[in-house]
Chain A
């Protein structure tokens, strides 16, 4: 490694970065604002996704056997459930146990003495490994002999899955928009600094500097803009997270702002990566446009 070369290069980057300090500050600030929005959005999305998957994971399929199902059929269903890879647990609830549970649930509401015989069928309570598989499981089980009906709150599941899908698509669109905005801002800043240094660039080209060499300082500049912007944003988000979330959870206890469930460190890394990548790509494009002329 030639230390003189490195020093020269770093000097060039530093000089360019500090020469347009106010412009860099503007770029960093705007990128920070964009990334704050992006970060809060990602956070809320993660929370919502968590609430949604919480609700979904509570959904069970109830497999009701026919009242005239033979013990062999019940046994066959039990093995089928145990073998199905999509099912995590299948709990057998016999007629008698079902009645007992019903009595407990209805205690003091309805006089259960009116029941002279047990009208309940045998049933299985089935948990899916993946909540999205519940409809598939239900469909498969319903075909088995001796199964009367599979009930899994069809409309709730359908609605939740639909909401999750819309949220996912909207999320991708919103994220793309934020990234685009940050990219345009950095790209414009770099274009201004490129324009301010066009004389220097033309001289560099004249003395035989490669385009890659000319590009590097600007790429570094974009990278710095993006990463510094992301750092500022993460700082702001951390402050907001520290002050707002406890207040929110105490004001709205029913909103499960399950802080622990949102992976904060991966969120921080994501935002840094987005900032850096956007900076590099944006500056690459705006310098490239200049070098081609």
Chain B
């Protein structure tokens, strides 16, 4: 579903954000990207949804060669992807319903589809009862769920999350991660960049660890720290 070969990204100021990464993510996978701030987690995600173009290497997302993608084809790629951010990126002057519908409407979707998809997504994230509220009237967890509903409304095969729980308390963090787990169960490929140790250690999913723009380890059922669960750190 996602494939990177020899991908590098050098910023104009000379900083090497990504340094020769090879990575394969299969259909329906759930992958954590972990590492310190500034190790390239966000840069890697930005390359996937073509916010940035790699300096070198090949990137394929859902059969699309992202590194060679023409500017005019970017919207088509984005419609195959859902992206979720730490700061939700909701429009504050639109209601939850309007925010979710917006993602469909700007792609020129028919009203019929909007009326069908929006309730489905709001229901999935458990926000149906707050669809008329504005983001400012919601808790952080609820705002993030609205953002996830918006990311899902196009029926993407891939969901990219950049620190989705960065602004949330443990309770909401747990709920959001459970929601992402459910979405993954329905067949959506989920990639989560995080430095929330508890989240990673509880889920026991594939963990790709980045260091200085390179993949240092890639474990099938990993922990946040290399080879160690939280309990082992505490007891050891």
By a beta-carbon cutoff of 8 Å, the part of chain A in contact with chain B is: 2-5, 8, 199-200, 202-211, 213-214
By a beta-carbon cutoff of 8 Å, the part of chain B in contact with chain A is: 49, 71-72, 74-79, 83, 89, 91, 102-103, 105-108, 110-111, 114, 150, 154
Asked if B76 and A213 sit within 8 Å, CB to CB, the answer is no
Asked if A203 and B91 sit within 8 Å, CB to CB, the answer is yes
Min distance, Cβ B29 to any Cβ of chain A, angstroms: 22
Q: Which of B74, B108, B114 has the most CB of A within 10 A?
A: B108
Number of residue pairs spanning A and B whose beta carbons lie under 8 angstroms apart: 55
**A interface majority secondary structure:** helix
Asked if B78 and A208 sit within 8 Å, CB to CB, the answer is yes
Instruction: Tell me which of B49, B103, B111 contacts A5 (CB under 8 A).
Output: B111
Closest 8 CB pairs of A and B: A4-B111, A208-B78, A209-B106, A208-B79, A207-B103, A208-B75, A210-B75, A8-B105
Asked if A208 and B106 sit within 8 Å, CB to CB, the answer is yes
Q: Which of B76, B83, B103 has the most CB of A within 10 A?
A: B103
- By a CB distance below 8 angstroms, the chain A residues around B107 are 207-209, 213
- Complex Cα–Cα for A49 and B120 (A): 69
- By a CB distance below 8 angstroms, the chain B residues around A199 are 89, 91
Q: In the complex, which residue of chain A has the Cβ closest to the Cβ of B115?
A: A4
Min distance, Cβ B146 to any Cβ of chain A, angstroms: 13
**B interface majority secondary structure:** helix
Known: A206-B89, A207-B78, A207-B102. A5 touches B150 (CB 8 A): no
Min distance, Cβ A212 to any Cβ of chain B, angstroms: 9
- Complex Cα–Cα for A213 and B108 (A): 9
Min distance, Cβ B116 to any Cβ of chain A, angstroms: 12
Min distance, Cβ B28 to any Cβ of chain A, angstroms: 22
Instruction: Tell me which of A4, A5, A200, A205 contacts B78 (CB under 8 A).
Output: A205
Q: Which of B49, B75, B76 has the most CB of A within 10 A?
A: B75
- Complex Cα–Cα for A195 and B136 (A): 22
Min distance, Cβ A29 to any Cβ of chain B, angstroms: 27
Asked if B154 and A208 sit within 8 Å, CB to CB, the answer is yes
Asked if B91 and A200 sit within 8 Å, CB to CB, the answer is yes
Asked if A5 and B110 sit within 8 Å, CB to CB, the answer is yes
- By a CB distance below 8 angstroms, the chain B residues around A2 are 110-111
- By a CB distance below 8 angstroms, the chain A residues around B111 are 2-5
Q: In the complex, which residue of chain A has the Cβ closest to the Cβ of B81?
A: A208
- Complex Cα–Cα for A9 and B106 (A): 9
Having A207-B79, A209-B107, one finds 8 other A-B pairs with CB under 8 Å, namely A200-B91, A202-B89, A205-B75, A206-B78, A206-B83, A207-B107, A208-B154, A209-B75
- Complex Cα–Cα for A209 and B89 (A): 15
Q: Which of B72, B78, B154 has the most CB of A within 10 A?
A: B78
- By a CB distance below 8 angstroms, the chain B residues around A200 are 91
Q: In the complex, which residue of chain B has the Cβ closest to the Cβ of A206?
A: B83
Q: List 16 A-B contacts (CB under 8 A).
A: A3-B111, A4-B110, A5-B105, A205-B78, A206-B89, A207-B102, A207-B107, A207-B154, A208-B75, A208-B78, A208-B79, A208-B107, A208-B154, A209-B75, A210-B75, A213-B106
